[in-house]
């Protein structure tokens, strides 16, 4: 009951602080109050499960990611304190807890979600733990479970340096009204796109196909 109450408080706060544009955040940000994703390796095999939910602590709201591996063993818990600013959901403080490495706190400005700005693509730049991210949110049409559906595509171009060598990767996620984020694709330097994480749906679901019209 306590967890359900926290979810309701957070969802009401998301709705209440929408600006005059009346962006319907509650229909896109994990609209069921929680959502489970499968994380896949390069061969398409599930390597972990992540469950997202909301908690409210005093005046702060958090998106919580619980990561499970193997036979349901919890390996990590990540907390993202967030606030709604105009058309975006911004995290300005993160706590990442790992069973092996312990707990680490960060104060990166991280865009968790963004609506296109007045129906036009919205772009931003930020840095997360040394990775530079160039983000863009735009409306597209996709084939989703057999139907043409309007979606928000969030593309993040990621660059970072390892041993003085610069790397560039790309992450694309698709968000659908009433479902939230449904799938995330990842592309490395080799140019091969793969599903990085996919939502557990009531029916078999293997991703979306973006339409060119």
DSSP 20-88: TT---GGGTS-TTSEEEEEEE-TTS-EEEEEEEEEEEETTEEEEEEEEEETTTEEEEEEEEEEEEETTE
CA distances from 164 to 132, 157, 160, 161, 167 (A): 15, 19, 10, 6, 10
Backbone angles phi, psi at 23, to 5 degrees: -65, 135
| Token digits of residue 39 | 């994380």
Q: CA–CA separation, 168 vs 109, rounded Å?
A: 20
Task: Please tell me the predicted confidence (pLDDT) of residue 14.
Answer: 52
Model confidence over 157-177: pLDDT tens digits?
A: 999 888 888 889 999 999 999
Residue 204: other Cβ atoms inside 10 A: 6
For the stretch 85-118, pLDDT in tens is 999 999 999 999 998 889 999 999 999 999 999 8
Which helix H or strand E contains 191, and what residues bound it? none
Q: What CA–CA distance (Å, rounded) separates 106 from 148?
A: 40
Task: Give residue 147's pLDDT.
Answer: 93
Query: CA angle at residue 181 from 179 to 182, to 5 degrees?
Result: 80
Quote the mean pLDDT of the chain. Answer: 88
Q: Domains of the chain (ranges plus CATH)? A: 2-210 (2.40.360)
Residue matched to tokens 């091969």 = 192
Residues in the chain predicted with pLDDT less than 50, given as ranges, are 1-13, 15-20
- The pTM of the whole model exceeds 0.95: no
């Amino acid at each position: 009951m306590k967890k359900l109450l926290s979810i309701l408080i957070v969802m009401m706060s998301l709705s209440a602080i929408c600006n005059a544009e009346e962006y319907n955040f509650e229909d896109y940000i994990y609209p069921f109050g929680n959502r489970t994703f499968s994380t896949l390796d390069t061969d398409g095999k599930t390597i972990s499960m992540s469950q997202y939910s909301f908690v409210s602590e005093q005046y702060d709201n958090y998106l919580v990611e619980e990561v499970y591996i193997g036979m349901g063993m919890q390996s990590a818990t990540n907390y993202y304190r967030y606030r709604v600013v105009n058309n975006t959901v911004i995290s300005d403080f993160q706590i990442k807890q790992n069973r092996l490495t312990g707990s680490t706190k960060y104060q990166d400005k991280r865009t968790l979600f963004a609506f296109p700005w007045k129906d036009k693509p919205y772009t931003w730049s930020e840095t997360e733990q040394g990775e530079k991210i160039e983000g863009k949110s735009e409306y597209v049409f996709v084939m989703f479970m057999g139907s043409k559906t309007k979606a928000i595509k969030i593309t993040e171009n990621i660059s970072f340096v390892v041993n003085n060598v610069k790397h560039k990767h790309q992450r694309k996620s698709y968000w659908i009204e009433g479902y939230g984020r449904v799938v995330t694709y990842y592309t490395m330097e080799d140019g091969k796109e793969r599903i990085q994480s996919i939502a557990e749906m009531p029916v078999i679901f293997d991703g979306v196909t973006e339409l060119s019209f």
